[in-house]
Structure formats: C-alpha cells, structure tokens
Amino acid sequence: MPTVGPSPYQLAEYSWEQEFEGRQFPVKVRVFLTPRDLVRKARGKYYISVFIGGNCYPFDDLDYQPSEPELKALVSSQMSTWKDLGVI
C-alpha cells in the first residue's frame, strides 16, 4: 500500500525488501508528477526515484503512474545493471 507523499507533486511512496543474488536490499520508491511545462504546453510526466542503500537512481518521462507491481518489476529488472555499474 503506498504512502501519500508530503508535497503536491509526490504522489506515492513504496518500500520493500528486494532479493538479488541471495542478498536483501531495502528499497524505497517515490513517484512524482512533474508540473506542466507552460512554455511548450507539454503535459506532466511521471518521475520515479529509487533509493537503495542511500543511493538514488532516477527514472523519468513515464506517461502514466506505475502501479506497485510495475515498480517492483522495474527495480528487479535493473538490479543486474546496478551491480555491473558497481553501485550495489
């Protein structure tokens, strides 16, 4: 169940333990809606910040608000990339 965000642009916050290669990583994901760009009349985009062990990994420019299962799948799919980069 998401926690409601403290600002009008933070829509939700999720937390869980992510298992990867036999280790557990605490994960916190925050979902934001960026304001409209009034100059270009672009509609807002969704921006996701993933926190693992104090490090932040941003994702942006999503056209929809992802659900918790979608966020878990996104984080799971990125774990090996983050390992290859040496950040986890």
The residue extents of the domains of the chain are 10-84
pTM over 0.85: no
Nearest Cα residue to 48 out of 23, 20, 78, 88: 78
- Neighbour tally for 40: CB within 10 Å: 7
The pLDDT assigned to 5 comes to: 46
Output the pLDDT for position 1. Answer: 46
pLDDT at residue 8 in the model:
54
Query: Hey, which bits of 1-88 come out as E strands?
Result: 10-20, 23-33, 46-52, 55-62
Cβ neighbours, 10 Å, residue 1: 5
What is the per-residue pLDDT for 40?
56
Spell out the per-residue pLDDT of the chain, length 88, in tens: 455 445 558 899 999 999 999 999 999 999 988 766 555 555 668 889 999 878 888 876 788 889 999 999 999 999 998 889 887 8
